[in-house]
Amino acid sequence: MVRLSSGAVLILAVLGCVWLLPAWVLLIVVEGILVLALVEYGRLARSLGLHVPLAVAGVAALATCAAVGLGTPLEAPLLAAMVVVGGVAVASRAPGPGVLGEVGGALLPALYLGLPLGSLVALHGGWGREAVLLLLLNSVLSDTAQYYGGRTLGRRPLSPLISPKKTLEGVAAALLVTPPVVTLAGQAWLPSVGPGWLFLVSLTLVGLGIVGDLFESLLKRSAGVKDSSALIPGHGGVLDRIDSLLFAAPGFYLFLRYAV
C-alpha cells in the first residue's frame, strides 16, 4: 500500500510539472532532482571508497544540465569541469592508486546526471510537453511490463550477477507491450514522426532503459546497498526512480534532433 500510494503521488507530481510548467521552470525543478540524485551518488561513491569532491562535481553537473536544457554551448561547462576537477586533485591529493577513480568519479555526474536530465528539459522546450510524456509513458510501461512479466513468467535471469530479479521473460513482456502502445500514443502526441519510426524508437528506448537500470544496479551492488536511499517510501531513492530515464532520455533527444 505504501508503495502504491507514494507511486501515485510521484506520478501525479511528475505529470503536473511536465504539463503545467514552462521549460525554464521545469529546468529549476529538474536541477533540484539532480541535486538529490547527486547526494545519493556521493553515498555510493563513499561506499566504494572514493573521495569525490561533491561540490565541484555538483556544479559541473548542474551547469551541464542547464546548458543542454537551454540549448547553450555544451563545451564550456564540460571543459571547465575537466580543468577544475584536475586542479582540485592536484591541490588536494597525494599520488596514489585511487586518484584516477576519484577524478573520474567527480566528472561522471556531469555525464551521468547532467546530460540526461538536461535532455528532458530540451525535449520539453523543443518538441513540447507531449514529447516528454511519450518518453515517460515508454519508461513506465516498460518498467511495469518487466516487473509483472518477470513475476508471473520469469524463469531465466537477464543478468544474475548484477540484478538477479530481472528476467528475460520480463524483458520480452516489455518489448511486446510497450512499442504498440507508444506508437498509438505517439501518432497523437508527435504526429510529425511516422508510426514505423515510433515503433523502432520505442524498442530502442526499452533497451536503453534496461541498460540504465542495470548500470545503476551495478553501482549499488558494487557499493553493497539495495537502494540508493530511502527517500521515496517503497521505491528507494531518486536514482532508483530515474535510472532507466538517464539512458533513454538522451536517446530520444538525439533521435528527435537529428533523425526527424
156-180 residue pLDDT tens: 999 999 988 899 999 999 999 999 9
CB–CB of 209/244 below 8 Å?
yes
Confidence category of residue 242, pLDDT binned at 50, 70, 90? very high
Which residues are within 8 A (CB) of 165 and not within 5 positions of it... i.e. 6 or more apart? 150, 154, 157
CB–CB of 5/237 below 8 Å?
no
CA angle 240, 171, 246 (to 5 degrees): 35
- The Cα 118–Cα 47 span in angstroms is 27
Q: Note the pLDDT tens digit of each residue in 104-123.
A: 999 999 999 999 999 999 99
pLDDT at 93 over 80: no
pLDDT at 66 over 60: yes
Confidence category of residue 20, pLDDT binned at 50, 70, 90? confident
pLDDT at 1 over 70: no
Q: Please state the pTM of the whole predicted model.
A: 0.93
pLDDT at 7: 67
pLDDT at 231: 82
Q: Note the pLDDT tens digit of each residue in 183-197.
A: 999 999 999 999 999
Poorest-pLDDT segment among 7-21, 50-64, 72-86, 246-260: 7-21
**Domain map (residue ranges) of the chain:** 2-258
